[in-house]
Amino acid sequence: MSRILLASGSLKGRDFFVHLIKEYGDHEVLFAGSGKDARGALSRGDIDLLIIHAPLADEFGEELAEHASRNSYCGIIMVAKSDADARTILRVEKAGGLLALTPLSKSLFRQTFRLACATRNRMLGIQNENKKLSRRLEDMGLIDRAKCVLIQVLGMTEPQAHRYIEKQAMDMRVPRRQVAEELLKTYEV
């Protein structure tokens, strides 16, 4: 089940989008009537998709799209009138949001909705890969520090220090990171 934040200053618009969203599956829909309320909801929890029905009570909505793009991994859809300013359209697109102009057909909104969900899933995959790579870099830095300690304190060469950490990890059946952490606790001042 996805968490969808619907930012709309119009009750009629809100009801319209809730009805459409319910047709696409079981989703939890949260509501915000203004950009300020939507920013608060984005900061409080994991939102999978942000739908902005422009204009909002306190802003048009492109600022909210930019904020969501910078501060979350949610998909972004903005629905605006067909006479929307070209600069607004460019700002939403530059933020990675999808823009649907009214009059809006159900089939167009469905396609936009599915594309935003697919984009969200792709972003999560990239986020997970980024976390894995960050962890590996952190591990490598820790292991290199442990090697330096072995070289300085025990007079090993770099290949000897590397082999020592590798062998300890294999013998104890633990990750090299854990061996490096223990070495640093023992020898680092």
Query: In CATH, which of 3.40.50.2300, 3.40.50.300, 3.55.50.30, 3.40.50.850 is domain 2-104?
Result: 3.40.50.2300
Amino acid letter, 170:
M
Domain ranges (residues) in the chain: 2-104, 133-187
Distance, in Å, from the CA atom of 33 to the CA atom of 17, rounded to the nearest integer, reads 14
User: What does the pLDDT read at residue 152?
Assistant: 93
List b or e across 54-79, with b for residues whose CB sees 16 or more CB atoms inside 10 angstroms.
bbbeebbbbbbbbbbbeebbbbbbbb
Q: How far apart are CA 98 and CA 83, in angstroms?
A: 16
Which amino acid, residue 171? D
Q: Is 100 helix (H, G, I), strand (E, B) or coil?
A: strand
- The dotted CATH code for 133-187 is 1.10.10.10
Reported pTM: 0.76
Joined tokens for residue 41: 């909801």
pLDDT the model gives residue 167? 96
Q: Do domains 2-104 and 133-187 have the same CATH topology?
A: no
Low-confidence ranges of the chain (pLDDT < 50): none
Supply the pLDDT for residue 189. Answer: 63
What b/e sequence results for 139-176 when a residue is b if at least 16 CB atoms lie within 10 Å of its CB, and e otherwise? beebbeebbebbeeeeebeeeebbebbeebbeeeeeeb
State the CB neighbour count (10 A cutoff) for residue 101: 14
